[in-house]
Structure formats: structure tokens, C-alpha cells
Chain A
Amino acid sequence: MSVTSKELQAVFISRYIENGWYVIAGIGAGIQRAGVILAHLTHCPDLKIVMSDYFVDFLKDTEIGDFRSYTETGLKKNAEYMIPPEIRYETACRIDLMFAGGMQIDRFGNTNLIGIGSDFKKIRLRGAGSIGATSMTSLVKRYIIFTNNHNKRTFVEKCDFISTIGWNKGGADAREKLGLLGEGPQYVITPLCVMDFTEQSKELRLKHLMPNVSLESVMENTGFSLVIPEKVERMPEPNELELEVLRNRIDPSGILRR
């Protein structure tokens, strides 16, 4: 079977992660979780992974569960330490990588999980809420924005509300000016592409296209003019080890192949 876009996204995340990092892996989010565990099993034996409220280690596991829910009890066999939500913020500045989402994402990586509409008191489309992302993203060293939707409703010129501040109104000093810690959002991963941010203005810039996705379709589905570099690359392909570990140990049920 050919490698799917979801698998390529997991491999991209895995290769970005460095050994020894402290990473928060989304619990319900299959691709991020697969990417983090793939890093752990291929090149980061000392990755400090937090899933749900646990520091977990999977290094010797031959098959790893799907872990769909935050309250999943199956995770307990991999847990080494329980970190309650109120304590997690006290170590947030040490976190090397986390993931954030958004029902809207603007060109500077500001995201919205609050809702869509102009009147907060009678919001047109209520979002789920930011959970912990508002504070975590302003404290952690860096984060990746992840979305399953790439269209003009998601990628907008301006978010109706901002629940997570990225590069505010742009500029490499935007976060520093607000007194925020960390290096902010580094990538945005979507079903169509991976984007990064330009060095100076911190605008979203196309980096990698997913298989069978054209440059035109990315531009058509983005509600602002995306920075297009001179050379747009395809997604990096997995090597034999990555594909074997991903398919046999991390995702035997094939969530990333559907």
C-alpha cells in the first residue's frame, strides 16, 4: 500500500522532534500521537511524553494502543508519573513541543477555538473552547498547529475571536512585545500541506505539498495570500524503519491508512 498523507504527516512530526524533548501528545489526535511515538521508537529513546495526565514510555512495547480518550485507563501500564492539570502549568516553560488546533487560523498563526460570529453573547457557531491551549501555547518553547480542514472557512484573513495567540499582527518580535514566552508556532499541518512562517514578517508560507495536491488547490482553499517560496517541495518520504514501526507497532489498526 502506498504511503498516505496522514502517515507522511506523522513522519514529518517525528523527524522534527529531538531526543530528550518534553512533548505533549494530543490524546484524541491520531496523527500527532503517532508522530510523537514514532520519534520515540525510532530516534528519541529519552523522549519525555505526556499523554492524558501521565508521563508515558512505550520503548519496549511491541504494539501500542489507539488511546482515544483522555480518561483512557489502558495508558496506565505505560505511565511513570501522574501530572495533574493544575501542576502541568508549573512545568509548562520546560515543554519543548505541543500541538494546537483551531476552527479558524489566520496568516500569523493566531487561532480560534471560541467560535464564529461577531457577537460573543449570541455566537453564530460555538466552538468547543480552548481547554488548556490558551495558556500552554504562551508558555511552551514551541508548538505546531494542526487541522483536519484546509479551506477558506478555516484559513481566514482574520479570526472572529482569538483563543491562542501566534504571531499576533506579525513580525519576529510580536510575541516578545506581548511578553509571551517561547518561540511560538513553528508549523501548520493540514490535509493539503505543511506551512511554516517567514523569518521576518512571520506570515504563513507554504513548505511541503501532500501527494496529489496542487499548488493551485492550496491557494484556492486559503482565505489569504499565502507566501509561496521559490521551490515548493513534496512531503519527505518515510524510510523503511519508520514505515515498519508506524504500521506494525504504532498503527496496526490502520487509522492513518483510512
Chain B
Amino acid sequence: MFDERIDKRIKFEQISDLVKDGMTLAIGGYLTANKPMAIIRQIIKKGIKDLTVIAFPSSIELDLLIACGCVKKVICPYVGMESLSMIAPFFRMKAEEGSLEIREVDVAMVVCMLRAATQGLPFLPWKGGIGTSIPEINPDIKMVDDPFGSGKLLAIPPLSPDLALIHAAQSDIHGNVQHKGKSFTDGLLARASKKVIVQVEKIVSNAEIKFNFFETTIPAVLVDGILLAPYGAHPLSSQGYYCEDEQYIKEYISVANKFIKGDKKGFTDFAQEYVYGPSSLEDYLETVSLRRLLSLREA
């Protein structure tokens, strides 16, 4: 009898089997919200190298990957912490050193790349960016003539990430994922990627998903692995659960800026305490402390 559906739950240890050197990773969430930080820390601990990262506006998760030497190439319209730090410290440092490949894009161009991939198209035409430096400095983007005669257009090529890493509110064990609040561009990332791993605050029953099936944002057909990760987006926010840990982000910015100026101890200690030291998510959360985590809960 074949009457059991597949259970897609995975463990943190399996991340290192899924993420390989040189892969193209898509990271979900937006700015300081819904970033799969628990998976990111696992990737760093495993010493994964030469990643290409494609993401919508990003903050500490991408900067930390860059800081720890995991990233070769970035396709991202913004890396920073908004008013806390207009530009992410290590992203800036590596860009100015010339040791990071940057594909200059804006949000709409990333949308085009992913949509072209979902539709099997060689490119999508786009108007935004005509006349700017972007087609000159981004070797992936070409200028083409509109066959209908309106003039020049940008041709944005497809990009299908090898693996999308997403943080969401909840899922059943089969991979029917639901967000609480904004789901950002996670659905598009999932549709465009070859494989999708979602870390969730909570695993719920299939009956609960069915009860509110119209809230399913990523269907099981797109999902390859589900990882239970309560508080897994910390220090960033998780829609419907907790806000970003501003104090932590400020500390990160401060030790990162000192590192860049040559005082390396603060950041080395910080990375040891929060990334390399903890042996599990539970360990990490204990390091952060219960009191601090509870203070972040959404009102």
C-alpha cells in the first residue's frame, strides 16, 4: 500500500549535503525581515566557498556570508541595514578591495531574471535602466532593439538558482508553506529555483493547512525540504512572530566597522560567540538569551 505522503523534514546537519561550493543560492526575505539566518550560520560553519548569491534587498545575512568568505559573486539590488547602516560593512569593504564580483541590478531586474527562468525564456525585455550605467557595468545585461520599433531595451537573462533558502511562518511536513504577513518575493524565488529549502517557525498539521489553504504561499510541489527553526530568523525579524534585534544589529555594525579599520578582535569574538561557537540552533538561542528573545515578540 502506498498511502503515506512524503515527509520533507530535514535536519540542520543535512544543509552541508545540500549546499556545495560554487552553487548559486537564492536567499528569501527582504531587507531585515524573514531571512533564513539559522541556515546561513550553518553554511558559514561548514566553510562553504565561492557561492553566487541572488537576493532581493539584503542585510546582515548576506554581509555575514561575505565576511566569512563564503561568497564569490553577488546579484543583489541593495546590501545594508537601512537607517542603522546605509551600506553593509563587509559588502562595502570587499567591493572597494575589488575582491567581490558584483552584478549591478535593481529589484525589477532581479524579478526579470527569475521570471525569465520560470518561463524558460532566453531573456525578458525591460525598460528600466536604459541610459544608466547598468548595461555597461553588468556584463550579463545586453541592449537589444525592440522588434516593434520603439527603440532600445534591456535584455535581462534568466537565472535559475540551484537552491532557494527561505524563512516562513509555518508548513506541514509535506512542504505546504504559509507566511504570516508579508511573503515578499519568496514565491517567485521558489518558482525559479531548482531546489527549495524552507525553515519555519512552526510545523503544523496538514489539516491546519487545509483549513486555511488560501494562505499557502509556497505549495508542496516546489518544496524539497522543511527545517524546523523557531526564532531561526534572529537577529532579523520574522513576520507574525518577532521584530529585528536592533541592539544585536548595531553591535554587528560596530564590530564590523572596527574590523575593517584593523581592530579585528571584536568581530572575531562576535563570530565565535554567535556563529562558530553554538553547536545547534538551541545553543545559539541560549547564547542570545530567552529574555532577549521574548523582548522581541511582535506586539
Contacts and interface: CB of A to CB of B under 8 A. Distances in A.
Contacts of B79: 128-129
A180 B77 contact: no
Contacts of A130: 77-78, 104, 106
Query: Looking at A122, A138, A162, which has the most chain B CB atoms within 10 Å of its CB?
Result: A138
Contacts of B33: 70-71
Interface of B (DSSP majority class):
loop
B232 to A, nearest CB: 16
A129 B127 contact: no
Contacts, number: 157
Interface stretch (B88-96, B157-165, B268-276, B287-295): B88-96
Contacts of A120: 102, 104, 133, 137
Residue of A114, A127, A130 with most chain B CB atoms under a 10 A cut-off: A130
Contact of A84 (B80, B92, B132, B182): B182
Nearest to A83: B182
Contacts of B237: 71, 73
B57 interface: yes
Contacts of A86: 111, 185, 188
Interface residues on B, range: 35 or more
Interface string B49-78: 000000011000000000000000000111
B132 A163 contact: yes
Contact of B95 (A115, A164, A165): A115
Contacts of A122: 96-98
14 contacts: A69-B244, A70-B57, A73-B243, A89-B111, A115-B95, A123-B96, A128-B87, A129-B77, A131-B106, A132-B108, A134-B106, A134-B128, A135-B128, A138-B130
Interface of A: 27-28, 53, 68-71, 73-74, 76, 82, 84-86, 89, 114-115, 119-139, 161-165, 168, 178-181
Interface of B: 30-33, 56-57, 76-80, 82-83, 86-87, 91-92, 95-98, 102, 104, 106-109, 111, 126-134, 137, 146, 150-153, 181-185, 188, 237, 239, 243-244, 298-299
